[in-house]
Structure 1
């Protein structure tokens, strides 16, 4: 009688093996096998990391094996099992692969398709169509939308991590607990000794060095040494952890009445301010989103303040970005002076610190949380609800959502929820962060997530005009590499634009993002329909770039740039100055975060920037969802291009005191998982 060899691979993380009974049924074009128990006497099958083979005897040939059914039944107590893949070798020595990469929880039955990717219009059998439909019906019951806050992107319907489907929870090696990690950070950084004086101000800038005692980070040390300098202040707009705020100034805004006389001493080309604007040498960073945002009032004993500053910057003859003028509010006039480099030392320093604090608030809430974490969760939920595992775009995108929903759920529990770390340490805690994200939503459009479009919209796209904007230059290279890879995969499965139009599942995915995930907010302008392969390629590139490169660019540098508290105050405890000549060291220290909030802040950013030992970086796809050789060849080409980009970045950074490597592909995690 014909014999089929079935090989089963169990996950290699802790607790991914099982002692439960595992049964298999082979479904072929000519028939199906009996339900067969996979077991071997005196053999501990399905242990963690095991790859075991079994013989399934059938009375007659089953034809081409199209599906396998796996069943898990309780042996003693329910014991969850993570199945990586199954292969079936037929009597004709044909090996058929069945990717799984999912958990079987309880008495569970899973039917797997063979590993070939198929568009819905290419699935001609009734059995295949029914399998797609049943899989999506089940997923829509499990992956449900929920509104965490009005005006936010929708999120997963789960109040805590244990409510999540098992397939998207953290694995045993990646488990994240912000409070636990924060506690570890407090211990590792020797911050416990400051907690007894929580609301006590620091006495001098040098006191902050006390919480640098265990830092082994040359960038942080460099920031500590040079943070007062205008050169470092301006550089951060280009290559710090929030390099998206700066724009070319095409016209001086009426609300920011800077005159030539105010800044003439800083202009190196012997021209007027207006001429410098016309020549493209003037830039601006406007934090108007912070206007009227409620400052943190969770602690009745400590008043906290926010401002919405505007900062004018000048590209000097060495192509360095230098601050020219700062206004700490949006409305000009008496009580809102324009601070200048020619002002008294501490007036100018305090004004710059207010800008840095505002930058921290916008970075954390809008650039980071909203525009990478929350939007990636929208893409992920829509994917689970509308694309079956057999769809090529599902296979392409699923590695880029690893742990994303889990990290966001944990953040809502412990970081941005009531009583979380935001409330304890940040000036926008206690509800201001919610207001700010709602405002940020009004500028979240699809085109703003397309990296080249966003750079062009800011007027920062001329690489010869501003040669040291590494965020832009590296971002272009990584974007192009991702887009080239996505285009190759798209064109393997879609031979014509009409095939894109006829793919009801991909159209449902795109519609789900905008209509459900973004609730049809009119200002988002996300596509509801894709007509061409180029449009599909761009859409998928946006999803991957946002989840990987963009998140890396604005997350990885947090400890570098924000751990020296005066350079990036998480809150301010005195109001913005309303006149010049009042700032001194005492006022600045009273304005900066106190000892306790400094410790919360430092512990949090340390915890949020620690990569896991088993982190998966861009181009790494250990779970082989694709089996087709053309896709694997495209992956090889992608990895080679990424390696060349990494090598180029390494060479450029040699000898630099401030190397920029946040967009080096070998440092870009595949997904939003921190």
Structure 2
């Protein structure tokens, strides 16, 4: 007896999502397979944003539908054009409506097999998205403040907490052996009646060590040799909560021609030392930014290779992979490498940047990507006015609660996790190729570890990426605050610096402008920004996961409001961890 299946196909709403090509469907059930049927109605079928209904007739009922198969063939002489299929709904003869989310591109000759939305297994074919750039966007208030205060000691310390690179600062409990600072040197800059040793015990001394920059090769720019420092910078949190630099050594090895610069030195000596630190911080930020957040490529590729599209973890994470592979390809081709904009405008060039990223990778650990552990490991739990930490920990908590609710909905016990070989392969491949097997075996044999891993992935590609990306133009457009290169070697003595010394060490104007243009480009939000927690594609069709998503969105919305209220009372607002400004994925 004939059976009639009502099929509704939705084409994506983005530009050029439609196609003139022929689309075929095959229904596969527990009791048989339909014939390959062409989806054809009157007029054009697959226009952008269109929903079209069809009937697929089989000789007998297929019983429970297991999957559907879509195929795409070129229409006669017309040029090939890809098609973005959003969703296929099938109403069975038994009146059940089954959802088959697709949300991917199809090219000519491509075949995609889709399982029901609440299933656990299907196949995925990945198609690149086009990247759309936006017009100039920046925070004029911060830019003007940077220009006015970049030489102030308290703003120097503030940037290490809330600027574009909050990753270098850590609590200092013992001075490095190669740092020639003594208690007597810094005593005048501490509160009366205390000492450096006592302040370290009380948790008020902090260190930025740029040792990875030591011995890196430098390049010629505009025919001139460029230079780089590898400084150690000691900072003190005073009684009013300000973080102030109190000692700077510009190279790693203590020696007579490597003095420790102090706030009591001449104005230009001290400013010159801080400028060298800002150069080092700029270079470290570039390596940290690309490594710590664009490591998302590892998560993405492993996701595509190991987790089928109907797997709940795949559906949870795939919105957070949007544009990742395309952005990383552009970075490798246009920003890094021998002719990259970043490497051409920084003192260490391609070879030096490559070596710096290698050094940073050798220091990268799984725990350093988990914000609560990173903050604890660096001893920064109690330092005041640390908005990166405060907002980041709140976001981590929101994401973690959301992930826990979703994972526990699909995994009722640790044995469910252990028996999911695809999940184990996904995690293991991340650790093998992302961490080079140096941080963990890559096994997650209980629900708690899976929740932590998924939380880390979502936080890294969204909140962490925003924190390290969005402030580059705000803090770097005034280029003396973030010079990518030094045109003169770091000073080896005190007492000979003046205003011309500061000007001479700064990179040439064209070099600075080139790097500032990169900061401008990377700081812009995407023209089609999808904020954190927003999921335009309905990968989850069950009511429970949909409610968990709505609850997550409500928490993020309330948090955005609280950040906006707080920022009204700040001289320098911190907006980089506001959910409204955070992209769901690594994108610009």
TM-score by length of 2: 0.96
Which residue of 603, 620, 630 corresponds with 2:534? 620
Native 8 Å contact 1:22 1:71 kept in 2? yes
- In 2, distance between residues paired with 1:417 and 1:230? 35
User: 1:244 maps to which residue?
Assistant: 167
Query: How does 1:268-667 map onto structure 2 within 5 Å?
Result: 268-297=191-220, 299=221, 301-365=223-287, 367-373=288-294, 375-462=295-382, 466-520=383-437, 524-667=438-581
2:306 touches 2:422 (CA, 8 Å); kept in 1? yes
Structure 1 contact 302–573 (Cα < 8 Å) conserved: yes
Larger deviation, residues 221-230 vs 55-64: 55-64
1:575 aligned counterpart, secondary structure: coil
> What is the distance in 2 between the residues matched to 1:461 and 1:117?
42
User: What is the alpha-carbon distance in structure 2 between the residues aligned to residue 527 and residue 549 of structure 1?
Assistant: 26
Deviates more, 1:249-258 or 1:447-456: 249-258
- CA distances 1:487-520 after superposition (whole Å, capped 9, x unpaired): 1111111110111111111111112122244443
In the alignment, is the contact (CA less than 8 A) between 1:25 and 1:33 conserved in 2? yes
In structure 2, the residue corresponding to 1:4 is in which secondary structure? strand
Aligned mates of 1:557, 1:330 — CA distance in 2: 29
Alpha-carbon deviations, 1:367-395, whole Å to 9, x = none?
2011111x211111111111111211111
Structure 1 range deviating more: 596-605 or 271-280:
271-280
Contact 2:366 2:435 in 1 (8 A): no
Please give the residue correspondences for 1:88-99 in structure 2 after superposition, counting only pairs within 5 Å: 88-99=90-101
Q: Aligned partners of 1:472, 1:612: CA distance in 2, in Å?
A: 25
* Residue of structure 2 aligned with 1:101, choices 100, 103, 116: 103
Q: Supply the distance in 1 between the matched residues of 2:472 and 2:381 (Cα, whole angstroms).
A: 25
Cα shift at 1:287:
0.5
Secondary structure of the corresponding residue to residue 220 of structure 1? helix
Question: 2:64 corresponds to which residue?
Answer: 64
1:256 is matched with 179
- Residue 316 of structure 1: CA displacement? 1.0
Whether contact under 8 Å (2:487, 2:505) holds in the other structure is yes
After TM superposition, give the deviation of residue 448 of structure 1 in Å.
1.1
Whole-Å Cα distance in 2 between the matches of residues 269 and 82 of structure 1?
69
Conserved? CA contact 2:262–2:270, under 8 Å: yes
**Does structure 1 residue 22 correspond to structure 2 residue 29?**
no
For 2:302 and 2:336, how far apart are their aligned partners in 1? 23
| 2:114 alignment counterpart | 112
DSSP 3-state at the match of 1:100: strand
- In the TM superposition, what whole-angstrom CA distance separates every residue of 1:136-180 from its partner, at most 9, and x where no partner exists? 8xx7xxxxxxxxxxxxxxxxxxxxxxxxx6x1x233xx246xxxx
1:321-350: CA deviations, max 9, x gaps?
011011101111201111111111111001
CA contact 1:296–1:423 (8 Å) conserved in 2: no
SS at match of 1:254: coil
Deviations 1:72-117 (A, max 9, x none): 1111332211111101122333211001111111122222111114
Task: Name the residue aligned to 2:7.
Answer: 6
What is the DSSP-based 3-state SS (H/G/I as helix, E as strand, rest coil) of the residue aligned with 2:225? Answer: coil
- The runs of 4+ residues in structure 1 deviating greater than 4 Å are none
TM-aligned CA distance change 1:663 to 1:30, over 3 Å: same
Distance in 2 (alpha carbons) for counterparts of 1:531 and 1:33:
40
1:600-636 CA-partner distances (Å, limit 9, x unpaired): 0111111111112221111011111111221111111
- In the TM superposition, residue 270 of structure 1 has moved relative to its aligned partner by 2.9
Q: Deviations over 1:383-425 (max 9, x none)?
A: 1111111211111111111111111111111110211102321
State how far apart, in whole Å, the 2-side matches of 1:225 and 1:651 are: 25
Matches within 5 A, 1:193-212: none
Q: Give the match's secondary structure for 2:339.
A: coil
Q: Distance in 1 between matches of 2:138 and 2:289?
A: 24
Paired residue total: 585
Shift of 1:539: 0.9
Superposition map of 1:12-161 within 5 A: 12-41=13-42, 43-75=43-75, 76=77, 77-118=79-120, 132=122, 135=123
CA gap 1:664/1:97 in 2 versus in 1, 3 angstroms: same
Inter-partner Cα distance in structure 1 for 2:459 and 2:433: 22
- Residue 386 of structure 1 contacts residue 508 of structure 1 at CA under 8 Å; is this kept in 2? yes
Q: Is the 8 A contact 1:510 1:527 kept in 2?
A: no
Q: Distance in 2 between matches of 1:216 and 1:249?
A: 33
* Counterpart residue number, 1:209: none
Gaps of 5+ in 1: 121-131, 140-164, 186-213
- Asked if the contact 1:269–1:317 (Cα under 8 Å) also holds between the matched residues in 2, the reply is no
Unaligned runs of 5+ in 2: none
Within 5 Å, give how 1:207-226 maps onto structure 2.
217-226=140-149
Contact 1:117 1:626 in 2 (8 A): no
Cα 1:491–1:325 change in 2 (3 A) is same
Relative distance call for 1:117 and 1:662 in structure 2 (3 A) is: farther
Q: Distance in 1 between matches of 2:461 and 2:119?
A: 23
SS for the counterpart of 1:111 is strand
1:489 and 1:216, CA in 2 relative to 1: closer, same or farther beyond 3 A?
Answer: closer
Are residues 1:235 and 2:158 paired?
A: yes
